[in-house]
Amino acid sequence: MRIIYTDTYQKMSEEAAKVIAGQLWVKPDSVLGLATGSTPVELYQNLVWLHKTVGLDFAQATSFNLDEYVGLAEDDPQSYHRFMHENLFNHVNMRRDRIFFPNGMAADAAREAEDYEARIAAAGGIDMQLLGIGRNAHIGFNEPDDAFARTTHKVALKESTIEANARFFSSAAEVPREAMSMGIGTIFRARHIVLLASGAEKAEAVRDAVEGTITPRVPASILQLHPCVTLIVDHAAGALLSGKSEP
Ligand code: F6R
């Protein structure tokens, strides 16, 4: 695993933007796997800036988001669909017909999950998958479990994740209890995985994921087996890694 240590959230975001911009410059028709949450917000601002100032081109790119809440319509202010449009898609030249999310409103979740996998496969697979990490080391909505979920599926959110995500809602009671998420296998098939982590509350999850036992109880630990992972951490999130030298 390649680890890029940065001092601040801003630097982490800039480094991440360089990695994704580099991907798009080398392969303009890249298939990107994208994440929501607090972590990538400034990365997306950097990508928008690169688009507007130096012409970073999304015209041939395709995107598949990691996850979406079950029961929220696309235009719901809390939907991941809305988040991605407000933070990235509305500000770059990504074609609308090349933007994909798992449909959290699908009547048949199992069928939707299969269709999502088929859409990813038809696009040629994911070239670069962006990930954040939960405090319990979840990736996507793959929560600690007895086994690694292989493909896209409907998942019940853990209480800790509901509490963590309540900051985006007026109360924890409003956070949907279920989501559709790419599985660990879906994520793992990406050719290059870029994992971002910022803040002291992620430090233990990062340490366990990178240096701990590989176990579905620490979902991100599976990334130790992937041949091409870039982890970009700020000072606080990387503080417990053994390779981290004090600045
Ligand atoms: C988001 C996602 C989640 C987040 C994780 C970290 O699409 O799949 O796994 O990446 O919960 O969230 P933040 O960045 O808000 O700390």
CA 133 from centre of chain? 8
Q: Which of 103, 136, 142, 165 is catalytic?
A: 136
Global pTM reads: 0.96
Count of CB atoms situated within 10 Å of the CB of 212: 17
Segment 138-160, tens digit of pLDDT: 999 999 999 998 999 999 998 98
| Pocket lined around ligand 1, Cβ cut-off 6 Å | 35-39, 66-67, 132-134, 138-141
84 in Cβ contact with 36 (< 8 Å): yes
- Known catalytic residue at 246: no
Residue nearest to atom 4 of ligand 1 (CA): 132
Distance 59 CA to ligand 1 centre (A): 26
- Alpha helices (runs of H) in the chain, residue ranges in sequence order: 9-26, 41-54, 80-87, 109-122, 159-165, 184-188, 203-211
**Cα 9 to Cα 242: distance, rounded to the nearest angstrom:** 20
Query: Strand order in 67-69's β-sheet?
Result: 67-69, 178-181, 153-156
Mean pLDDT of the chain, nearest integer: 96
pLDDT number for residue 243: 78
Question: Residue 245 — pLDDT band, cuts 50, 70, 90?
Answer: low
Q: Which amino acid is at 22?
A: G
**Cα 230 to Cα 2: distance, rounded to the nearest angstrom:** 5
| DSSP reduced 3-state for 176 | coil
Helix (H) / strand (E) element for 62: namely: strand 62-65
Structural class in CATH, domain 2-234: alpha beta
Segment 210-229, tens digit of pLDDT: 999 999 999 999 999 999 99
Distance 66 CA to ligand 1 centre (A): 9
Domains of the chain, residue spans? 2-234
Segment 18-76, tens digit of pLDDT: 999 999 999 999 999 999 999 999 999 999 999 999 999 999 999 999 999 999 999 99
- Known catalytic residue at 81: no
Closest atom, ligand 1, to C-alpha of 138: 9
* pLDDT of residue 188 exceeding 80: yes
195 in Cβ contact with 231 (< 8 Å): yes
Phi-psi domain of 137 (left: phi exceeds 0; alpha: psi -120 through 50; beta: other): left
Length of the chain: 247
* pLDDT of residue 88 exceeding 90: yes
Contacts of 165 (CB under 8 A, 6+ apart): 157, 175
- Known catalytic residue at 51: no
Distance 134 CA to ligand 1 centre (A): 6
